[in-house]
Amino acid sequence: MLRQFLPGEYVKSIYHISPRQLSDRGIKGIITDLDNTLVEWDREEATPQLIEWFKEVKDSGIQITIVSNNNEKRVKDFSDPLQIPFIHKARKPLMNAFKKALKTMNLQKSEVVVIGDQLLTDVLGGNRTGLHTILVVPVAQTDGFFTRINRRIERRIMNTLKRKGMIQWEE
């Protein structure tokens, strides 16, 4: 059961993920969380650096879909100006939204990675769906109410994973 919470990779931020390297590995699609993965949970628009990263993703021939547990207005207001498809109220870690994103992108599981900042939603949901998961450090030090609860549980899981020698990185 603990392995379901173990990400395939761990990086400091999405900017440490090279779209070209993903493409070289045969990755054709990215399913990414929005809040505290791409931007702070209370930031309405993409930063110039993020817009440039999205351009690199597209230039590498990789599709991207934002899958968020947040409401439609939040995700649509962020995604529409960037012309990035999205799924809102995803109910992660349930697998339906991940499967829907795969179907929409018309890709196989082996061709897609999941990027997110939470073990309990992004990593668990991606792993349960059979996708390669990449955990990033949250962009902001603050979280919404429900995410604060998740973070407490995540700390316990991380401590258990460390104690069992299943992870070697530093937080």
Note the pLDDT of residue 59: 97
142-151 confidence digits (pLDDT tens) = 666 667 777 7
- What CATH number did the domain enclosing 95 receive? 3.40.50.1000
The domain of 116 spans: 2-163
Predicted pLDDT of residue 35:
93
pLDDT of residue 143: 64
pLDDT at residue 145, as a whole number: 65
Tokens standing for 24?
């070289």
Question: Does residue 170 form part of some domain?
Answer: no
Q: Is residue 100 part of a domain?
A: yes
- List per-residue pLDDT tens for the chain, 171 residues long: 788 999 999 999 999 999 999 999 999 999 999 999 999 988 889 999 999 999 999 999 999 999 999 999 999 999 999 999 999 999 999 999 999 999 999 999 999 999 999 999 999 999 999 999 999 999 977 666 667 777 788 888 888 888 888 876 655
- Segment 18-32, tens digit of pLDDT: 999 999 999 999 999
The bridge status of strand 112-116 relative to strand 29-32 is: parallel
Q: How far apart are CA 101 and CA 17, in angstroms?
A: 20
Q: Would you say 2 and 157 are in contact if contact means Cβ atoms under 8 Å apart? A: yes
Considering the domain boundaries, does residue 41 fall inside one?
yes
Residue 168 domain-assigned?
no
Position 72 in a domain:
yes
- Judge whether 118 lies within some domain: yes
Q: Would 171 be classed as within a structural domain?
A: no
Number of domains in the chain: 1
What's the pLDDT at 169? 63
How much is the mean pLDDT over the chain? 92
For residue 57, tell me if it sits in a domain.
yes
* One-letter-per-residue 3-state SS of the chain: CHHHHCCCEEECCHHHCCHHHHHHCCCCEEEECCECCCECCCCCCCCHHHHHHHHHHHHCCCEEEEECCCCHHHHHHHHHHHCCCEECCCCCCCCHHHHHHHHHHCCCHHHEEEEECCHHHHHHHHHHHCCEEEEECCCCCCCCHHHHHHHHHHHHHHHHHHHCCCCCCCC
